[in-house]
Amino acid sequence: MSTTRQDLLQAFDALLQPARFKDYGPNGLQVEGRPEVRKIVSGVTASLALIEAAVAARADAIFVHHGLFWRGQDGRVTGWMKQRLALLLAHDINLFAYHLPLDAHSELGNNAQLGLQLGLAASARFGEQDLGFIGGRGDGGHFVDSGALAAHVQQILKRPVVQAGPSQKNIRNIAWCTGGAQGYFESAIAAGADAFITGEISEPQAHYAREMGVAFIACGHHASERYGAPAVAGQVAAQLGLAHEFIDIDNPA
């Protein structure tokens, strides 16, 4: 089975509704490749390693969360940008990238899928553009302290986490937002969170955590965003009868 580049773009757009978001770069088709698509490779970031893996996997399209183009880039096609673009163009592979729309999708997005992995159920959304999810354990239980929550996250994501803030406190209300969402910590606190989980921590958040009595858990930008792209690409591939493979290029950050 195959589809056209245009029908694939329409299927992604219909699911993720990029027009609803103010974003840091263009969502949708970022690099045009061949018109007919049989196989999609999904991944977190359009790195050279992912593009090489997609070439080896004979993909016609790549679907990622972090594409090639961001606001504030200087626009020159040199260095790593030249290498990535040259490989894509040489193999006529389409690059589709969806940033905030992929974080936000209520069932297939990065936040929804991270919640699923961690056994968390969202009861509300918070923060700018409603990207943050807040809720609690899907089984209605709680974590005895933030150390127990951190250990749980560590075990599921199979990597160490950075923890700041109180430990001797029951954790019921848990807020989360994948990636580099440390800037959402204050809105998570305002939304009533006992703990906030995101990918990265910056210096100020450790103090806010201690001073506001809300735990902060940084579980890795990449690790927190591994689940949305395969969920969306898998669903669209099934819908259009295409082959799909998720390729995880490990990233310690």
Binding site for Zn ion (CB under 5 A): 179, 225
Q: Min. distance of Cβ 241 from Zn ion in angstroms?
A: 30
69: helix, strand or coil? coil
Residues with Cβ within 8 Å of 32's Cβ and at least 6 positions away in sequence, in order, are 5, 94
Query: Between residues 37 and 62, which has the closer beta carbon with respect to Zn ion?
Result: 62
Is the alpha carbon torsion for 120, 183, 222, 213 positive or negative? negative
168: which DSSP letter?
S
Element (H, E) at 85: helix 79-90
Residue 172 or 246: the one with the smaller Cβ distance to Zn ion is 246
Which residue's CB atom is positioned nearest to Zn ion? 179
> What are φ and ψ of residue 200, in 5° steps?
-125, 155
Q: How far is the CB of 249 from Zn ion (least distance, A)?
A: 14
Q: Taking the CB of residue 137, how many other CB atoms lie within 10 A of it?
A: 17
Evaluate whether 222 touches 249 at the Cβ level (below 8 Å).
Answer: no
Smallest gap from residue 179 Cβ to Zn ion (A): 3
Identity of residue 210? R
Taking the complex as a whole, the smallest distance from the CB of residue 67 to Zn ion amounts, in Å, to: 11
Contact indicator for 142, 136 with CB cutoff of 8 Å = yes
Instruction: Name which of 94 and 111 has its Cβ closer to Zn ion.
Output: 111
- Of 154 and 251, nearer to Zn ion (C-beta) is 251
Nearer to Zn ion, 98 or 126 (CB): 98
